[in-house]
Structure 1
Amino acid sequence: MSDTDTRKLASLGMLRQLPQPAGPYRNIVLVAVESLDLAYLHKYNPSIPVEATRNLDAIASGFVSFRNFFTSAQPTTFGLHALLSSRLDVFADMVGDNMVPNLFTELQQNGYAGHFLGAMNGQFITWSARDAGWKRTVQRNYGAAHGMFAADFEKKYQKKSSGWGMDSAVLFAEAESLLRHARPGSKNFLFLYTIDTHPPYGARPPEGDACLRDRRIAASPFLLSLCALDRKLGAFLQAVQPYLDDTLILITADHSATHGENYTRRSHFTPDRIPLLWISRRGLAGLAANGQEMVNYCAQIDLPVTLLNLSGLPVPATFMGNDLRVKNAACSLLAQKSIRLLTPQAEYLVDRKDASSVLARWFGMYYPR
């Protein structure tokens, strides 16, 4: 990388800066909600009925929220890969049983118990290997020590899956149980992936809920599922209040959405803003105080860097992101072909193979031809 490239990347906010670590959290809980677009929260989109996201809006207003946190890649397998490994091209990374450093490998090496709690069928085909389902992928490609999927939850909780996966209430119950029964002094990393807000929208809020009295919500399977998820998240946050002194809970999404009855007004999978809600009683230098909003531009690949750096752990050289406390540029990969960089001032879109572009040369550092 030439000096000119270095200066240009620095001006774009692409060179890594690692602020002072803040000390580890005993528990880190990362919740990736299926297709939860920022535009699905009433706080950010008044066309969503206020009652549908009552708890999400309260969380966003009471803790730290991010207004310009973007999907790095999509659909689901790409988005989850960005959240876990700070990388953009899952197809290039996940060849056979190849494992790239990720939050599970790095945190488990430093004493955390790793749990992947997925609402999907563990045998669902995910990417290149024809026999690779989620269960095998989580074990072989991410190295998670513990994984539970729909069939595991059905057996443990004696509940049948609805729609195309397990109701997220069961995932939240399992997560709360893991925190409640954790050994004194133990450290835990929990990654939850929900599917309520993906068609066919099977979830409904509990009987008597105010959403059911709202005619617009009651007539919409999407809004009913969004409301049901909102209630489950609210109940989960209430249940884990005793642990929040040494627990960080993050609520985000696997990717931005095109579903949801077109509330996003988008017709294609272009990475866009998704929520990032930072739930902790601990104040952190460089992060807004609870009740405030971060407005800097950042993306999914920046979150793994931040979590490791906050904990005082080394950030692998394979990670492509930056600490989101100092980042002000959101990087995405479109259809495995184009690199998109958004800053408050401009948008850059380049072919990943364009050797004349500094962004493509930066990408080539991580994915050599």
Structure 2
Amino acid sequence: MSPRHVVLLIADQFQFQFQRLGTNDPIARTPHLDQLAGEGVNYTNMFCSNPQCTPSRVSMQTGIYPHEAGVMAIYGFGGHTGHLSPDRLTVGKVFRDAGWTTAYFGKSHPLDALGYDHFREHGVGSPLSGVDRAVTTDAVRFVSGHDPQQPLFLTVSWHEPHPAFEHVAPFDQHFPPEQMPIPTTYEDDLAGKPPYQAERRAMPHGGVDLDRLRDELSCYYSMISHVDALVGQIRAALEARGMWDDTVVLFTSDHGDMMGAHGFRLKGVLPYDELYRIPFILRVPGLQLERSVVDDLCVNVAQPGTLLTAAGLPVPTEMSGGSVLERALRTSPPQDECVFLEHYAAYWGLHPFRIARTRDWKYVRHYGEAPWEELYNLVTDPGELHNLADRSDLTPTRAELRRRVDEWWQSTYGQDLEYYESAAFRNWGHTTLVSDNALWTDASASQ
């Protein structure tokens, strides 16, 4: 019998590069997530399609890449107003049409095109921990009133550990700033890398000194612990209704944070794993696992298909990202792994690039006015410190990865910079931008 309920738990800007979970990080305190990982599958090489909130969340809803959906940036960045079309198939719509009750509480970017029967968006308040407690209260109240015999697809989307960073009590007592570990790449001189990286690090809020970094790491860990506690509240509500034993649960994030790596703070316009690598913990009751830890290279375009597969539903052909559930049923990764990632623009500027990443290599192909290339040997240089794109002895490696990423781009209908900067593409969503923003800022918006 397929599980009756599906619960998707989303954190925002939760970095997995340094394993911010208690199962792997000696500093982190995440008992509820550790328990969830022990009951399911921990995908340790999951990457987001794009290190910006809205584009990544588009992939998490549609099962396709941001450029395929026409959402390349967060609304308003660089004047782009494209948003997810109401006609686009989403995982919420598939569950709803299959007879599930669908409910969404929390951060959404925005909700009106996603296909949920019930939703509430609290907007961005201060502090974020208070907003997230309200989100959790809404979700718990909804679960408490739900008929356990009716299939439920519930999404709970928290704002933490996204900035503004805060020390969340009582968790902050475990993370003294002076004891926070500094990333080994903090002193990166950025030599041989695209000049915009050094320019960005010199901007206000781009770089970070050690005192500020230690304080923000302390905040970050405490916010993660707070999210973990909220996960525990959702679990308790499901257990109280007798729903937990037949509920699929996925915990994930939309993207990471630099957290001092390479001397940077925050997110955006950079190709590093700190931004792209995300948590992905999946629990499927009754699933006979070959592996409880899956280190296969995966991308969150597979998230919708994974949830549908776990619920016993077919994955629509429109969701070309497929599913990663079957990875846990195999004993080893597939041969010749290569995943593809993208970026277009953020508040730090317009820096479009696409990435081909294997276990051994990362290749970054910038396009537009500054067609730089980056190549990193992840075996000898896992911190991505040394750009080897100019090495003549690596020309075959660079050429092969360039071919693969270009073929992927073309096969997924990727366009050039001129197209994405055209007025037609930048402005196609402007008629609804005002209402979308009103929904985002209206803490009382609900249905």
With the length of structure 1 as denominator, give the TM-score of the two structures: 0.71
* 2:111 alignment counterpart: 138
* 1:30 alignment counterpart: 8
Aligned partner (choices 172, 190, 198) of residue 136 of structure 2: 172
CA RMSD of aligned residues (A): 3.4
Between the aligned residues of both structures, percent identity stands at 18
Task: State the AA in 2 paired with 1:92.
Answer: G
Secondary structure of the structure 1 residue equivalent to 2:220 = helix
Deviates more, 1:238-247 or 1:80-89: 238-247
Alpha-carbon distance change, 75 to 165 in structure 1, aligned in 2, over 3 angstroms: farther
Alpha-carbon distance change, 146 to 61 in structure 1, aligned in 2, over 3 angstroms: same
Aligned partner (choices 413, 418, 422) of residue 367 of structure 1: 413
- State the Cα distance separating 1:189 from its structure 2 match: 1.2
- Looking at structure 1, the residues matched to 84 and 280 of structure 2 have their Cα atoms a distance apart, in angstroms, of 32
Q: What does 1:245-256 correspond to in 2, within 5 Å?
A: 245-256=245-256
Task: State the AA in 2 paired with 1:67.
Answer: T
Secondary structure of the structure 1 residue equivalent to 2:3 = coil
Q: What does 1:253-268 correspond to in 2, within 5 Å?
A: 253-259=253-259, 262=260
Alpha-carbon distance change, 74 to 320 in structure 1, aligned in 2, over 3 angstroms: farther
- Looking at structure 2, the residues matched to 364 and 313 of structure 1 have their Cα atoms a distance apart, in angstroms, of 30
* 1:92 alignment counterpart: 70
Secondary structure of the structure 2 residue equivalent to 1:138 = coil
Q: Are the aligned partners of 2:354 and 2:365 in contact in 1 as well (CA < 8 Å)? A: yes
> In the TM superposition, what whole-angstrom CA distance separates every residue of 1:24-44 from its partner, at most 9, and x where no partner exists?
432111111011111222433
Structure 2: tracts of 5 or more residues without a match? 72-81, 181-214, 328-333, 346-351, 372-401, 416-447
Paired residue total = 310
* 1:193 alignment counterpart: 157
* 1:232 alignment counterpart: 230
- Looking at structure 2, the residues matched to 76 and 239 of structure 1 have their Cα atoms a distance apart, in angstroms, of 28
- Looking at structure 2, the residues matched to 29 and 264 of structure 1 have their Cα atoms a distance apart, in angstroms, of 36
- Looking at structure 2, the residues matched to 360 and 213 of structure 1 have their Cα atoms a distance apart, in angstroms, of 47
Alpha-carbon distance change, 359 to 61 in structure 1, aligned in 2, over 3 angstroms: same
- State the Cα distance separating 1:73 from its structure 2 match: 1.0
Secondary structure of the structure 2 residue equivalent to 1:107 = helix
* 1:112 alignment counterpart: 100
- Looking at structure 2, the residues matched to 368 and 263 of structure 1 have their Cα atoms a distance apart, in angstroms, of 30
* 2:280 alignment counterpart: 276
Q: Are the aligned partners of 1:162 and 1:202 in contact in 2 as well (CA < 8 Å)? A: no
Structure 1: tracts of 5 or more residues without a match? 1-22, 121-133, 152-159
- State the Cα distance separating 1:359 from its structure 2 match: 4.1
Q: Are the aligned partners of 1:331 and 1:340 in contact in 2 as well (CA < 8 Å)? A: yes
- Looking at structure 2, the residues matched to 183 and 78 of structure 1 have their Cα atoms a distance apart, in angstroms, of 34
Q: Are the aligned partners of 1:352 and 1:363 in contact in 2 as well (CA < 8 Å)? A: no
Matched, 1:221 2:230: no
- State the Cα distance separating 1:299 from its structure 2 match: 1.4
Q: Are the aligned partners of 2:101 and 2:117 in contact in 1 as well (CA < 8 Å)? A: yes
Q: Are the aligned partners of 1:42 and 1:53 in contact in 2 as well (CA < 8 Å)? A: yes
- Looking at structure 2, the residues matched to 227 and 184 of structure 1 have their Cα atoms a distance apart, in angstroms, of 29
- Looking at structure 2, the residues matched to 254 and 318 of structure 1 have their Cα atoms a distance apart, in angstroms, of 21
Q: Are the aligned partners of 1:86 and 1:320 in contact in 2 as well (CA < 8 Å)? A: yes
* 2:201 alignment counterpart: none
Alpha-carbon distance change, 109 to 199 in structure 1, aligned in 2, over 3 angstroms: same
- Looking at structure 1, the residues matched to 5 and 174 of structure 2 have their Cα atoms a distance apart, in angstroms, of 38
Task: State the AA in 2 paired with 1:146.
Answer: H
The higher radius of gyration belongs to: 2
Q: Are the aligned partners of 1:161 and 1:167 in contact in 2 as well (CA < 8 Å)? A: yes
* 2:23 alignment counterpart: 43
Q: Are the aligned partners of 1:252 and 1:277 in contact in 2 as well (CA < 8 Å)? A: yes
* 1:330 alignment counterpart: 339
- State the Cα distance separating 1:82 from its structure 2 match: 1.2
* 2:318 alignment counterpart: 318
Matched, 1:344 2:359: yes
- Looking at structure 2, the residues matched to 55 and 310 of structure 1 have their Cα atoms a distance apart, in angstroms, of 21
- State the Cα distance separating 1:224 from its structure 2 match: 2.6
- State the Cα distance separating 1:297 from its structure 2 match: 1.2
- State the Cα distance separating 1:257 from its structure 2 match: 1.5
Matched, 1:150 2:196: no
Secondary structure of the structure 2 residue equivalent to 1:174 = helix
Secondary structure of the structure 2 residue equivalent to 1:296 = coil
- Looking at structure 2, the residues matched to 96 and 28 of structure 1 have their Cα atoms a distance apart, in angstroms, of 23
Q: Are the aligned partners of 1:167 and 1:203 in contact in 2 as well (CA < 8 Å)? A: no
Matched, 1:69 2:46: yes
> In the TM superposition, what whole-angstrom CA distance separates every residue of 1:268-309 from its partner, at most 9, and x where no partner exists?
533422111113432246x63xxx311111111111122223
